[in-house]
């Protein structure tokens, strides 16, 4: 029986089956996984191909058949401690000898390789991308590799860091390496390289190329032929620059004598110069989707937000800054100034027409929008309780600690809204940016998801998933691990992000900082939960303000659902409809008898679609 059948059966038998029994059945099926043999073969091949005089790899014994046993090997990091899938291999300073291990081709999920400070020798494979094509970090420094640096490295397009220093490489630096757009750290210092340094998309410091007597060109000194050719140009430029400087000096002196005393300019102390630049556009109308708000113009939005004063800012995130607008009748709206969009005005309006039709009880409705010059303003219903993040982490006074029943209702409502986007909305929507910052709360703490469908309205440089590799995509701590490799947004990626939100709710910790962890711990919230789970003490993560108040069984069930959502393998995570049903089963007693069901039957079409068929709201025209 699949997840959906199990959950539908659960939904029809609330009265005959306990919530705990439902959760146990579902979570048992969620955690069922299979050994990934190719990664085991990868490590076997690596061990066999290298000489290990120091017995550094003595712990690599392959007689064990249990899932996750290779995760205990020295230098091996797995995507999950209970899964034989290699994330990183770090074998630095182990005295290993031999050539580059080609068996690494079987570690198909590996994102990091460190073989630095060993005795490896010989040339690198000319088709090296076949073996490390998906890695984001490759460190082969401090070895004895010879020959030329393979031009094929330009096909390792996910590289953030490439270290080849302190080897015996000869020849030049392949120009294609410099064009790797994600490459931030690069070093070939202390080799025997020659020729011009190619241009880099992300310029590197001189230290990256030091101690290569034959290398020249920026950021090192120019090559001799260039210096001769440029000498005359430099001389002429110097003379011209001197004449220009004298001329400018004369002009400035004349201006100082002739100018009138200027009026004191208003300093842009509010940080809203962009708003003042729109004075000529004040007559632009605001397109609205509901009759519940009056007809507005840009001048009204400026008046209601005090010219978008910094004092009216109520939230700021990746998609833009939100201002509180106080209308003449004392009611409130929220106005979001969207980050730079590359869409034409026609495209933007088409996107807005689509989003304006999306309506659900647990979504913040888009009430209208306005286009003025390059500015894009969105009008939303104001949520007086702010964000879930603020309620969990900012309002920390003891009297304002959120009670468990309230947290439970927020979790169920937010899950219902996201499940509706995934399974019932037409067109279906992948949010791409779920976090506790985009779950807003009304007066009754009813959750409303915001920012859905906005990912594609931003600058493509900002929204492209490749920027996650550099820590820039979405909100740190919420992005699914597979995005670094696949660069494709999926429903299961949303499930992972929502799982982090659930962990925040039940632990009271932030996604990137765990206050209750030991000082030596340097990971994020998911890392902490994984560590506690591997030691069978995951219950220690539960918020101390909630423990011992009669909710302990519910808290543990809730924590298990959250852990299922953040499993490293996307296929092992539940769908959002399943998450909603699991949470509903746990917190049924906190819901009113009139609580709405999902409006449509769930569909898993999104889970199996190829990447180019995944639908987001902004795909509709």
Q: What's the pLDDT tens digit per position in 112-157?
A: 999 999 999 999 999 999 999 888 889 999 999 999 999 999 999 8
**In CATH, 388-610 is 2.40.110.10:** no
Q: What is the pTM of this model?
A: 0.55
pLDDT tens-digit readout, 459-515: 433 333 333 333 334 567 888 888 877 777 789 999 999 999 999 999 999 998 888
Cα separation values, 129 from 135, 150, 180, 396, Å: 9, 9, 13, 50
How far, in Å, CA of 432 to CA of 551, rounded?
Answer: 32
Pick the closest to residue 381 from 302, 455, 327 (CA basis). 327
Distance (Å, whole) CA 146 – CA 193? 11
3-state secondary structure 96-161: CEECCCHHHHHCCCCCEEECCCCEEEEECCCCCHHHHCCCCEEECCCCEEEEECCHHHHHCCCCCE
* pLDDT tens for each residue of 46-98: 999 999 999 999 889 988 878 888 988 999 988 777 778 888 899 999 999 99
For 594-618, how does the pLDDT look when each residue is reduced to its tens digit (9 = 90+)?
565 554 444 444 443 333 333 333 3
Q: Considering only the top CATH level, what class is 273-381?
A: alpha beta
* Cα separation, 394 vs 83, whole angstroms: 36
With a cut of 80, say whether residue 293 has pLDDT above it.
no
pLDDT of residue 621: 26
Confidence of residue 283 (pLDDT cuts 50, 70, 90): low
In whole angstroms, how far apart are CA 3 and each of 56, 82, 560, 564?
44, 21, 16, 13
Q: Angle CA(426)–CA(431)–CA(436) in degrees, nearest 5?
A: 135
CATH numeric code, 39-224: 3.80.10.10
| Domain limits, the chain | 39-224, 273-381, 388-610
* DSSP codes of every residue in 530-573: HHHHHTT-GGGGS-TTTTTSS-HHHHHHHHHHHHHHT-SSGGGS
């Amino acid at each position: 029986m699949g997840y959906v059948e199990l959950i539908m059966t659960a939904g029809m038998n609330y009265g005959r089956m306990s919530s705990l029994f439902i959760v146990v059945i579902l979570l048992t099926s969620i955690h069922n996984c299979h050994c990934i043999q190719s990664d085991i073969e990868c490590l076997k091949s690596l061990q066999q191909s290298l000489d290990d005089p120091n017995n550094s790899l003595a712990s690599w014994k392959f007689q064990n058949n249990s899932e996750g046993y290779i995760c205990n090997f020295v230098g091996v990091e797995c995507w999950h401690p209970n899964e034989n899938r290699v994330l990183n291999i770090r074998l630095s300073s182990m005295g290993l000898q031999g050539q580059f291990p080609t068996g690494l081709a079987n570690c198909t999920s590996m994102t990091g390789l460190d073989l630095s400070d060993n005795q490896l020798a010989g040339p690198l494979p000319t088709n090296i991308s076949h073996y490390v094509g998906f890695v984001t970090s490759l460190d082969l420094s401090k070895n004895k590799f010879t020959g030329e640096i393979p031009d094929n490295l330009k096909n390792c397009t996910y590289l953030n860091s490439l270290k080849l220093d302190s080897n015996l490489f000869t020849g030049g630096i392949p120009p294609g390496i410099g064009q790797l757009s994600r490459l931030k750290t690069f070093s070939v210092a202390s080799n025997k390289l020659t020729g011009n340094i190619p241009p880099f998309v992300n310029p590197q410091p001189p230290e990256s190329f030091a101690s290569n007597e034959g290398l020249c060109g920026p950021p090192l000194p120019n090559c001799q032929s260039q210096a001769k050719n440029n000498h005359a140009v430099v001389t002429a430029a110097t003379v011209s620059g001197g004449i220009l400087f004298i001329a400018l000096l004369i002009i400035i002196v004349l201006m100082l004598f002739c100018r009138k005393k200027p009026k004191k300019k208003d300093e842009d102390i509010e940080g809203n110069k962009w708003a003042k630049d729109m004075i000529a556009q004040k007559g632009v109308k605001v397109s609205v989707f509901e009759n519940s708000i009056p007809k507005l113009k840009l001048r009204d939005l400026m008046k209601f937000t005090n010219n978008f004063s910094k004092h009216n800012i109520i939230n700021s995130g990746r998609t833009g800054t939100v201002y509180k607008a106080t209308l003449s009748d004392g009611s409130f709206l929220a106005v979001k100034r969207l980050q730079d969009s590359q869409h034409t005005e026609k495209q933007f309006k088409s996107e807005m027409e689509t989003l304006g039709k999306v309506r659900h009880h647990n979504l913040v409705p888009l009430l209208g929008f306005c286009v003025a010059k390059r500015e894009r303003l969105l009008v939303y219903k104001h949520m007086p309780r702010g964000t879930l993040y603020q309620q969990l982490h900012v309002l920390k006074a003891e009297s304002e600690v959120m009670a468990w029943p309230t947290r439970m209702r927020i979790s169920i409502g937010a899950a219902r809204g996201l499940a509706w986007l995934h399974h019932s909305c037409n067109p279906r929507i992948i949010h791409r940016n779920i976090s506790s910052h985009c779950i807003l709360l009304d007066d009754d703490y009813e959750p409303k998801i915001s920012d859905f469908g906005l990912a594609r309205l931003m600058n493509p440089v900002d929204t492209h998933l490749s920027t996650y590799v550099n820590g820039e995509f979405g909100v740190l701590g919420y992005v699914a691990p597979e995005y670094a490799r696949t660069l494709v947004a999926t429903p299961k990626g949303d499930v992972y992000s929502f799982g982090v939100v659930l962990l925040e709710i039940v632990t009271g910790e932030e996604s990137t900082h765990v206050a209750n962890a030991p000082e030596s711990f340097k990971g994020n919230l998911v890392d902490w939960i994984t560590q506690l789970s591997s030691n069978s003490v995951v219950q220690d993560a539960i918020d101390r303000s909630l423990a011992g108040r009669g909710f302990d069984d519910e808290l543990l069930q809730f924590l298990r659902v959250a852990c299922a959502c953040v499993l490293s393998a996307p296929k092992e995570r539940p769908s959002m409809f399943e998450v909603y049903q699991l949470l509903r089963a746990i917190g049924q007693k906190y819901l009113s008898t009139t609580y709405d069901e999902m409006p449509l039957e769930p569909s898993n079409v999104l889970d199996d679609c190829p990447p180019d068929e995944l639908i987001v709201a902004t795909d509709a025209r």
